[in-house]
Structure 1
Amino acid sequence: MDPLRVVEICAGAGGQALGLERAGFEHWLAVEIDPTAVETLRHNRPEWDVRLGDVADEDVWDPKQFKGVELLAGGVPCPPFSIAGKQLGSSDERDLFAWAVELCAVMTPRALMLENVRGLSAPRFSAYRQHVLDRLDELGYVADWRLLHASDFGVPQLRPRFVLVALQKEYAPYFSWPETVPLKTSVGELLQDLMEAEGWEHAAEWARRASGIGPTLVGGSKKHGGADLGPTRAKRAWMDLGVDAMGVANEAPPAGAPEGHNPKLTIEMVARLQGWTGDDWEFVGRKTSKYRQIGNAFPPPVAAAVGSRIAAALRREGPARELAEVVVHDEVYRILRAAEKPLTLREIITASAGDLTQEEVLLRLKHLERDFDMPRGKRRGEETFELGNFRAFVGQDDHIRHEYLAQMRSKVS
């Protein structure tokens, strides 16, 4: 199995791509909807097959032509799960997570890796996660979720990402999540040489002030303004590190800038904070576009760490491990999915062997109704509940996603 090939969807500007390359994967294909990000990918890796367009459009690429690829990977859109948004999940027309999972039925990759925001790990999406795990199990994969922090992989940034890894059952016993490493570098230590680039005499003093790790860089979307380093709370955290987060600078502080000056970060600094070393990747476009490409990326060191463990599993390196018991994310979903008839509230509680209270069941039913059709009925005066169709986009020709994309194409990023 040499080389290991990867098809990457929603590839962005290459954070995950570079990490997977470092892990030993060769890109068979990369697909991205943002034209400038595509230019960045093609500029840095002209030998790759990089396609521009909607990843779910078969005029852009035909998944069947990439059947049997070793790894299917991607960073599908985050807004459906973001805590900063409405958390519409499968009802959000931008949601591609379930569609990406369904690609496993078409492409039969040996492994799948998808990353998203921390919000997907919240109780609100427990049934969504359960549906994903159960669907992958039906397709012959062993899957697991893990919340990974960039700061645990050498990146001085508070950047949690929720990662799904699934492997065909013959490879799953060889997979283990990467071990974390102690963070040895602060924001100041990482960026001091760049702060000194224009001769600022007080860069060393600034580096001592910037002795912690930074908050999550927020790339944002084309709908909202220019480049800045995040919402109000993040801006305050950056100011505590001696950084003006109200924008991105064109250059490092000049010679003569006073002691105690709070500089803005440059594109080069932001890229380094995201895990690019500075000489391994060049970004195409204007400053705001470059910042957006960097801020929305999966840090290359995190992608490399997870990718390396997937590569080792695909090569069956090391001893096979006994698979851990699968975590049940939503017991109410599992009960309703297995039921042969609609169930009352009391029947759901009984089926949970008393593990769930009435309040817990009602809350989970409320969450379920946001992602699934939930027909209700009556039996002997008691309301009944039934698990209906999953509302997520999985390729339907009549899904609302198509209308949204037609109207908002220039603002999708």
Structure 2
Amino acid sequence: MSAPAVVPAVPLAKPSVLSVVDDAPVRPTSVELFAGAGGLALGCQIAGFNSVATLERDKWACDTVRENKRRGHELVSDWNVHEGDVRDFDWSGVADDITLVAGGPPCQPFSAGGRAKAADDPRDMFPATAEIIAELKPKAFILENVRGLTRAAFADYFEYIQLRLTLPTLTAKRDEEWIEHLLRLRMASENRGRYNLSYRVVPNIVNAADYGVPQQRHRVFIVGFRGDLDVDWTFPTRTHSKQVLLHSQWVTGEYWEEHEVPKSKRPEAPKTGILKSLDAEPGQRWRTVRDALVGLPEPTLKPSKAVLNHVLQPGARSYPGHTGSPRDMPAKTLKAGYHGVPGGENMLRDIDGSIRYFTVRESARLQTFPDDYELHGSWGEAMRQIGNAVPVLLGQVVAESVHKALIKEGIDL
């Protein structure tokens, strides 16, 4: 029997483009830091920004962007990819009037799966990010990191990051410890108007599933607008919910009917008490793994001629901390690993209890990358890139809101 036709996952694989962009004579410029495989950068591009410099130190991630550019992918066709440390980049050749700086500084200093050494970790790039913002003076910035950055153990350092971004030109003195710098920043922030450059900084913790991403991925966004612009902005309101998903599954049954799943193939319903509390509410339902994989043929050990990066990876097994993601809920957070507990949630757990690893393409769907965007490298290397990425759709949602806020204020982009 022939494989089913591949149906593009809309809006997952090809998010909508902000309508106001079509009328703009010139797209506002952006600089992408710590771009990885391009998740946040692609979201910003779709939202109407045009990257003039895309920086990433990892060779494989840079190869992913370069290969897609070589293949003529429309979203990255104009990107200037620079492989190396952002601290070594010469910014003199970048345009003076940058609208947006976006990026996800390395999360390992704050991740529960990393060393969690914060400022004592040499991979902490928030100070370098603040210095770049001080140099480029963008109208806005969007930064993303793991939720662990906001835990109690990092409370002072999280405050330090926000104040460092609020007053990026107030740099640390020679041999000054960050805690001493924090005290100076606290005092200076009370009279920030006397500084030529300051930002209004808005942090927010979000679950990607609440914005249509088929994955429960909790992250912190730090968004800033230059103080002289007086932009009124709040984080986008969530559009999707678990309540609506459960209502469509266990009250109306619309979810199962949409996917043509017979009653004999459905999982066991929740307890009656839970069902009684499932009142209808406005909004859209969380998108599930099943939603994300619509149209993809079942993977085999042989590469698919019709679908990029869609090859079955054998060896999946279940044990504590390595149980996989159920098909009819959003996936658990994809990790930047592939074997052991770090990669344990990068597996599909089906209704019958069977498990297998997600293919690279399936994982890309869960991170809302376009279907025609190829991940470069081995399965393990591609999974690392995907696990480190910002979901493209979530990046688009945030970047569109920033774009709209700037346009609403009549700011020349």
Q: TM exceeds 0.5?
A: yes
**In structure 1, what is the equivalent of residue 84 of structure 2?**
53
Partner of 2:390: 298
Amino acid at match of 1:187: V
* Alignment correspondent of 1:343: none
Aligned to 1:193: 295
Unpaired runs of 5+ in structure 1? 199-207, 221-226, 244-258, 319-413
What amino acid sits opposite 2:129 in the alignment?
A
Are 1:315 and 2:407 counterparts? yes
Instruction: State the partner residue of 1:36.
Output: 60
Mapped pair 1:4 → 2:28:
yes
What are the residue-to-residue correspondences of 1:106-125 with 2, within 5 Å? 106-125=135-154
Secondary structure of the corresponding residue to residue 78 of structure 2: coil
RMSD: 2.6
Q: 1:163-202, aligned counterparts within 5 Å?
A: 163-182=221-240, 183-196=285-298
Question: What secondary structure, in the 3-state scheme, does the structure 2 residue paired with 1:193 have?
Answer: coil
- Asked if the contact 1:116–1:161 (Cα under 8 Å) also holds between the matched residues in 2, the reply is yes
Deviation at 1:18, TM superposition (A): 0.9
Equivalent residue, structure 1, for 2:204: 146
**Any conservation in 2 of the 1:23–1:308 contact (CA below 8 Å)?**
yes
Q: What's the offset of the Cα at 1:296? A: 0.9
Tell me which of 16, 39, 43 is aligned to 1:15. Answer: 39
Aligned-pair CA distance for 1:125: 1.7
Query: What's the offset of the Cα at 1:103?
Result: 1.7
What is the deviation of 1:184? 4.0
Stretches of structure 2 that go unaligned for 5 or more consecutive residues are: 1-23, 69-75, 168-196, 241-284, 301-324
Letter of the 1:263 counterpart: R
SS at match of 2:224: strand
In the TM superposition, what is the alpha-carbon distance from 1:289 to its structure 2 partner? 1.5
- Residues 125 and 5 of structure 1: is their aligned pair in 2 closer, same or farther, counting only changes over 3 Å? same
What residue identity is the alignment partner of 1:168? R
Residues of 1 paired with 2:340 and 2:402: CA distance? Answer: 32
Structure 1 residue 213 and structure 2 residue 213: aligned? no
Aligned residues: 283
Q: Which runs of structure 2 are paired with 1:192-271 in the superposition (5 Å)?
A: 192-196=294-298, 210-220=327-337, 227-228=338-339, 230-231=341-342, 234=345, 241-242=349-350, 261-271=354-364
Letter in 2 for 1:282: E
* Separation of aligned partners in 2, 1:85 and 1:262: 27
Change (3 A) 1:229 1:210: farther
Change in CA separation of 1:64 and 1:146 when aligned onto 2, cut-off 3 Å? farther
Aligned to 1:408: none
**Structure 2 length as normaliser, TM-score?**
0.63
Q: Which residue of 2 aligns with 1:287?
A: 379
Distance change (3 Å), C-alpha of 1:127 and 1:64 = farther
Q: Counterpart in 1 of 2:109?
A: 80
Q: How far apart, CA to CA, are the structure 1 residues paired with 2:356 and 2:141?
A: 41
Counterpart contact for 2:215–2:367, Cα < 8 Å: yes
The alignment-based identity, stated in percent, is 34
DSSP 3-state at the match of 1:301: helix
Q: Using structure 1 for the length normalisation, give the TM-score.
A: 0.63
Q: Residues of 2 paired with 1:229 and 1:301: CA distance?
A: 28
CA distance in 1, matches of 2:107, 2:365: 22
Contact persistence 2:289–2:330 (CA under 8 A): yes
Per-residue deviation, 1:57: 1.0
Specify the alignment match of 2:178 in structure 1: none
Contact 2:335 2:343 in 1 (8 A): no
Q: Rg bigger for which structure?
A: 1
